[in-house]
A and B are shown apart, each in its own frame.
Chain A
Amino acid sequence: MNRSWTYILAALGIAVLIGIGLFSSRFILYLTMRVMILSIFAMGYNILFGRTGLLSFGHAAFYATGAYGVALCTIHVHSHPVLAVVAGVIAAAVMALIIGFFCVRHTEIYFAMLTLAFGMMVFSLMWNVRGITGGDDGLSGIIRAPISLGLISIPIMKDSQYYFFVLMFFVVSVLLIHRIGRSPFGLVLASIRENHVRTEFAGLPVKRYRLAAFVISGAFAGLAGGLAVFLESNVTPFAAHWSRSADPVLVSLMGGLQTFSGPLVGSVLFVVLRELIERFTHNWMLWFGLILLAIIMGFRGGIVGSTAALLKRSSEQG
């Protein structure tokens, strides 16, 4: 797509998001926040999945680590939300470094199974250390203290205020991920996906690059988890369950693996579709599954991917 178009679209997107923040009802705010949080999770995840070609089934572990990092920091250390989020992201990155160290030695199904196993290990660890994590009851009532910046402090207690906190992290994340994709580092990741043997022959330390991608995507997962804690004001070990790990995979597949904005579009669909279906039927899981199936099978390369291909073909013909 033309570069100026990208800018116009991005500016439009931010304008719409700010507009939603200022003028819409509490429920729309809530849904939009959930979309943004899921987007951060999925776009970060896609650095590993779409970009590097590694399918992880354990990213909920980092999501939950970020979430517990934020919750524990708020309760025991300091209630400053920015500090808590930073702590959560660091905790998630460290966890990703440890788990990634063992996982990146393998690829394909072995990698997927290893990440799944480690993910469930983190889940059962959180389930069992009840004194710290609260067992299956989790930790609840995590409050959003005002962000104090020396002289002034910005309250984020209300949803309409917290929205802009999430929006800020969302915009920063999108820009960062975009930047990573365009950087030499991002190109190396793509070359690893295409042919890791050749990349290795080019003299690049493939495992280290994989590990870096793993840690970066883990850190974004942690950020998403941390923001979700403040949104829902609670966290339980289920945040680390493998079913949560499936969310970014589905979202990326729906939107388009090889595209930058795919996971974003996927997140919007994921949240909005479920919300709509639940209004019509209690069997929402069945219908949701069917629609996901149709999207994944019907749109090759996801919604964004296939739309882009369609536009390209029509412009070539015209």
Chain B
Amino acid sequence: MAVTFVGVRHHSPACARLVRDTIRRLRPAYVLVEGPADFNGRMDELLLGHEPPVAIYSYHRDAERVHASWTPFCAYSPEWVALTEGRAAGAEPRFIDLPAWHPAFADRGNRYADAELRYAEVAERLCREFAVDNTDVLWDHLFEIDTDDTARRLDAYFGLLRGEAEAGEDDAARESYMAGWIRAAEADAGDRPVVVVTGGFHKPALETLAGSGGTVWPDVPEPPEGSTGGSFLVPYSFRRLDAFTGYQSGMPSPEYYQRLWEGGPEEAASALIETVVARLRERRQVVSTADLIAARTLTDGLTRLRGHRAPARTDLLDGLVSALVNDDLDQRLPWTSWGRLAPGAHPAVVEMVAALGGTRVGRLHRDTPAPPLVHDATAELERLGLDRGGPVALTLTTPRGLERSRALHRMRVLAIPGVERRSGPATGADPVLEERWVVDVSDDGGRRMSALIEAGAYGPTLAAAAAAVLDERMTSAGRDMGGLADVLFDAALCGCADQSGRIAESIAAGIAGASDLAALGAVLEVALGLWRHDRVLGTARSPLLGTVVAEGVDRVLWLVEGVRGGPGPADLGRLRAVAAARDALVHASGPLGLDRDAALGVARRVAARTDVPPDLRGAAFGLGRALGDTADPVRAVRGAAGPETFGDWLAGLFALARQEVLDPATAILGVLDDLVGGMGDDDFLVALPALRQAFEFFPPRERETIALGLLERRGTRGSPRALLRTDGPPLLIAEARALEARVDRALHAAGLEATS
């Protein structure tokens, strides 16, 4: 049998070493590697001599889906070593797996994510057996430190992992395809050996499948008719590879493994302890020599307890955390729980994770062809007549104007120099239909070109790249509502709102964690406006904005029910939030499937509580009315009367339900009139500022209607406007009244009654 199968874990230095040794020993005719077969024609490009980490970025778009994925390589990736060592040994390196666009990869963003995650049960049992917390630790324990007889132990491990488990449909499709390549290579190589490097998980199946079947070189599947797609090389970074912080990645702590690959475990441990301490001291955290000794002692102790001949990754991390953390932690350690580092993690833990993650960024060889984005951007700008410098004025209501605006905004979002917006829509709610830009195409010093090449890692076209950048910004904005609103608006401007389902996912996650009612209200207002009305930007009825609105309403209701407090001035921000929720419930509940009954329930409960600030109770009452509650408003108004709270309660009510007051059928005006009329002078003065604020929710015409109603109640006729105007400044009138009262009192004291 001339075929040697090497089953590896992706990104494992121990496996890379095994691959290297195997290839050097066998000097095979073919080295077959798990990777996208449609890239085989460009193997020379991949082996130009890049500085890893680099990745093959693959994208695909058809009528149903948009898919982007990465196939990342670092210096210690077994696949990378197989390709480079294979080439050096005179072998023909070939990728043998299905292309990235293939439906078998539909749910995956990273080709080299761990297969065992899909078959977790066995892995869990193994962890229990070896008394470790997760498969990363188990892997280190079994393979990375003790390198004797790696091949045999790998076989045992992956054999157990694969066990009797039926492979999923996707894995089965890939395995039968890869087996075709292996058979063809074996037949073609004659008596020379063939080395196959794939995920260890596939190895047992491949060995069986390669035994029988045709020996013709398999075709590379063509993407379906009508779809676009392709692959190109991009620089990658350790940050993106690191499972603790990045997304869609495989093995954690790439910097650690890089050092393990270069210098072995002892050297990796010493170097990283040093880096961690240096980083902590840079952040002005105290790390004493005693702490360092303790860290070293503990690491050694753990190494011995766990039976390692040199410290493994988690021996190092555990030793450091025991020695350096002198408080209670708020979250689990990421290396035991397999979680991400959440905000607010202990600074020592943050620095440790960062030091082991590293900051290396790959570099492509100079001769690498430019990514498609460069060509796409140039062609797009030329098509839209934006390839000449100077000022550009755009009308957003014409299709061409909108297209040009979007192209420029995408350039702006990608931070490509040479486009600058001077004016245009700023919030999504303002009716600005024109934009002014200044375009500079001179490209001094090639900054524009280099920015485009860099941005090429995000996607092949301006639209795709801008969507990916916005997606990233959205994730990093987290729960910052202001940041989320900015990204949302940028997405609308770029016409990317529905390019990526992930944008919707991350903003929904951000909103679900929001705690500032006013900020959330502002986001909801903008999103609802764009969703309902914006035909200019083409966002009306956009599913993304629909998600934002639905999540926003849910969250506003949740937060509203949590507010507690005594009387206080009306908080206009939160009243606006409730009003925005009302608008959404009234105008969008059908298409978005909002639960009006649940909202009504919240409104009733909040309105009825006595420990809720009056403005919010008024607003909740108004919300209830707007949603069809038939509670008696007159009773509610009477119930809220009290000089200190009345005005604020009314402010809440008016912010939500002005119409109620104007509607003669509800008789609210009469009640208000009686209540205000019945206040003593002192009470009135106490209530006045809040009352003034409350009535400011009415525009002048409606105030006139109210004035007219008051005149009618008194049976007088006259101009209602006169009531709304005063002869002099209010302060002067108040002083005059006070003076008159004093004079009256003085006269009364002297026994002289004023006659009128």
> A and B: partners?
no
Interfacial residues, chain B to chain A (CB-CB below 8 A): none
Interfacial residues, chain A to chain B (CB-CB below 8 A): none
